[in-house]
């Protein structure tokens, strides 16, 4: 049986692998990443994983289920996340949420055998 720390580390690594696959100009949600990693209910854990990730992980491309930039405070500058997305051509609605109809990328679900 795996220890909790080992399971957390494995899950975090899965989160990073999925997040690295988000295409330029697209976003996905914490919940979609959690589901792709095989634990649909782990959206908050995805957020924790991304909070501590390196710069090689495009965490700015992960938004909440409404397209809101709930992780923006973890980028140092509260405008940086939006600026990075806008530089990739991502569009926002009048409420400041990403236009998910145009920019949402849904990762493939984990294969279960």
Domain boundary assignment for the chain: 4-103
pLDDT band at 113 (very low <50, low <70, confident <90, very high): very low
Q: How far apart are CA 46 and CA 33, in angstroms?
A: 7
Nearest to 58 by CA among 91, 20, 25, 100: 20
What pLDDT sits at residue 35? 96
Q: Mean pLDDT, to the nearest integer, of 44-70?
A: 95
Pick the residue with more confidence: 67 or 109? Answer: 67
Q: Mean pLDDT, to the nearest integer, of 64-77?
A: 92
What pLDDT sits at residue 8? 63
The CATH classification number of 4-103 equals: 1.10.10.10
What pLDDT sits at residue 112? 44
């Amino acid at each position: 049986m795996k220890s909790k720390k080992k399971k957390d580390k494995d899950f975090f690594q899965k989160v990073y692998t999925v997040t690295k696959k988000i295409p330029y100009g697209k976003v996905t949600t914490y919940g979609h990443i959690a589901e792709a990693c095989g634990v649909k209910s782990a959206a908050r854990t995805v957020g924790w994983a991304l909070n501590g990730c390196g710069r090689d992980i495009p965490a700015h491309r992960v938004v909440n289920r409404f397209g809101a930039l709930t992780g923006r405070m973890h980028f140092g500058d509260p405008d940086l996340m939006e600026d990075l997305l806008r530089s990739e051509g991502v569009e926002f609605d009048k409420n400041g949420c990403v236009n998910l109809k145009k920019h949402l990328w849904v990762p493939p679900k984990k294969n279960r055998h």
